[in-house]
Amino acid sequence: MIEIIDQNCVGCGACIRACAYDAIRLEGKLAVIDTEKCTLCGACVQACPFEAIVIRKLASEQINKSEFQGVWVFAEQKEGTIAPVVFELLGKARELADQLEAELSAVLFGSGVEDLASELIAFGADQVIVVDDPELLHFRDVRYAKALTELAQKYKPAVILAGATVTGRSFIPRVAIQLHTGLTADCTGLEIDPESGNLIQTRPAFGGNIMARIITANHRPQMATVRHKVMDPLPRDDSRSGIVIREQVDFDFDEEESQFLGFEQEKTTLVNITEANVIVSGGRGLKEAKNFALLEELAEALGGAVGASRAAVDAEWIPYSHQVGQTGKTVKPNIYIAIGISGAIQHLAGMSSADYIIAINKDPDAPIFKVADLGIVGDLFEIVPLLTKRAKELRA
């Protein structure tokens, strides 16, 4: 809670100037704080020259962090196929576990999925904890959250990682709440602090303008969801051996919060952008939805996928599943072709890891050219058809 000490406050207004949330006003010569706006950031405390503002923190329950050992990766799978982000997480988690001198465990949920354990071990896991139950045939966040929460309470891992996928984002926050711990979403970097042993979790913040480094210093487990295509998997090693632990969870609920009705696949012939080696992305410069046909033709000629900026998705020119950027998908293709995209930092956050970037834009000062390996200044409606024609000739 935050408190004004009346006898110290002189109404100088220093706290008002320091507050970025417009949460302080003066009534007479006394500062008053709007607790609904206040975020307890502490800026006003530092700005007050009379020590008239204090933030009082409730005493938190102390935990014995030494009881929490090991690194866990949630091994997301769908219809018996492990999500690619899992292999990336195992590669990074293997590094973290070795630094902590701890075991690396993959946690696998589903029905008829136990055979997948050997694949997880081949990509770095020391052991696989499996909950194989018909109740987990289809993803339902309440069931997945209950299963992971109970396992974490039993085994007490120090770190739990999951992909920042639709599945991970749906249920991992529920787990963090039930375990009374913190969660850092959409991480792009993970490392161990050599002094404290805490997990340093890096993610874009403030619209991608800075990279925040976050730790969970006083609670365990330390939890993070991680973006696809920002980490590298280890080479598969089928000679590795590991342990498979079979667990059971009681899914008897007093009241069902949801029902699984079915899954409807998106009706598109376009390639999934997260798996593509070549991505042709379009932005506001395409002017209208029908012009994405130009990009689809070029992508098909190159054997690639079609991506888009947030502006194109917000204009409903193309579905959200094609959005690249901080609020879309992170991609790491061999070639990324940005067409009619200015290059806002939020978009760059999702594609700057591409091996080779080609930008086409009529504005020579567009920010996209600062990250491009090859820039073409000109009219995309003239350039793209020529590129498509040449690509088709080379494939013929």
Using CA atoms, how far apart are residues 232 and 188, in angstroms rounded to an integer? 12
Boundary residue ending a domain (227, 246, 265): 246
Confidence (pTM) = 0.72
Statement to judge: residues 219 and 368 lie in one domain: no
Statement to judge: residues 42 and 69 lie in one domain: no
- Tell me: pLDDT of 94 over 80: yes
Q: Which has the higher per-residue pLDDT, 50 or 209? A: 50
- To which residue do tokens 């009619």 refer? 340
Statement to judge: residues 237 and 287 lie in one domain: no
- List the alpha helices (DSSP H) in 115-157: 117-122, 141-155
Using CA atoms, how far apart are residues 165 and 234, in angstroms rounded to an integer? 20
Asked if residue 13 is part of any domain, the answer here is: yes
Using CA atoms, how far apart are residues 354 and 268, in angstroms rounded to an integer? 24
Statement to judge: residues 174 and 207 lie in one domain: yes
Residue 105 neighbours by CB distance under 10 Å: 26
Contact 131, 249 (CB under 8 A): yes
Nearest by Cα to 238 from 117, 86, 386: 117
- Tell me: pLDDT of 59 over 70: no
Q: Taking each helix axis from N to C terminus, what angle separates 141-155 and 166-178, rounded to the nearest 10 degrees? A: 50
> What is the domain-level CATH number for residue 177?
3.40.50.620
Nearest by Cα to 280 from 268, 262, 297, 267: 297
Find the domain containing 288 and state its range. 273-395
Statement to judge: residues 318 and 277 lie in one domain: yes
Asked if residue 83 is part of any domain, the answer here is: yes
Q: Using a pLDDT cut of 90, give the percent of the chain over it.
A: 72
Asked if residue 253 is part of any domain, the answer here is: no
Dig out the tokens for 51 from the structure: 């020590």
Asked if residue 312 is part of any domain, the answer here is: yes
Residue-wise pLDDT for 265-284, tens only, equals 766 555 678 888 999 999 99
Q: Could you tell me the end-to-end alpha-carbon distance of the chain, in angstroms, rounded to an integer?
A: 70
Region 365-386 average pLDDT: 94
Asked if residue 255 is part of any domain, the answer here is: no
Asked if residue 375 is part of any domain, the answer here is: yes
Statement to judge: residues 175 and 294 lie in one domain: no
Boundary residue ending a domain (36, 55, 74): 55
Statement to judge: residues 322 and 379 lie in one domain: yes
Using CA atoms, how far apart are residues 355 and 335, in angstroms rounded to an integer? 6
Q: Which has the higher per-residue pLDDT, 336 or 251? A: 336
> What is the domain-level CATH number for residue 306?
3.40.50.1220
**What was the pLDDT predicted at 235?**
94
Asked if residue 367 is part of any domain, the answer here is: yes
Using CA atoms, how far apart are residues 10 and 30, in angstroms rounded to an integer? 7
Asked if residue 266 is part of any domain, the answer here is: no
Range in 181-195, 201-215, 218-232 the model is least confident about: 201-215
Region 380-384 average pLDDT: 95
Statement to judge: residues 225 and 88 lie in one domain: yes
Statement to judge: residues 144 and 204 lie in one domain: yes
Statement to judge: residues 34 and 118 lie in one domain: no
Region 170-186 average pLDDT: 94
- List the alpha helices (DSSP H) in 9-140: 14-18, 43-47, 84-100, 117-122
The band of 332, judged by pLDDT with boundaries at 50, 70 and 90, is confident
Statement to judge: residues 72 and 10 lie in one domain: no
Statement to judge: residues 72 and 214 lie in one domain: yes
Domains identified in the chain, total number? 3
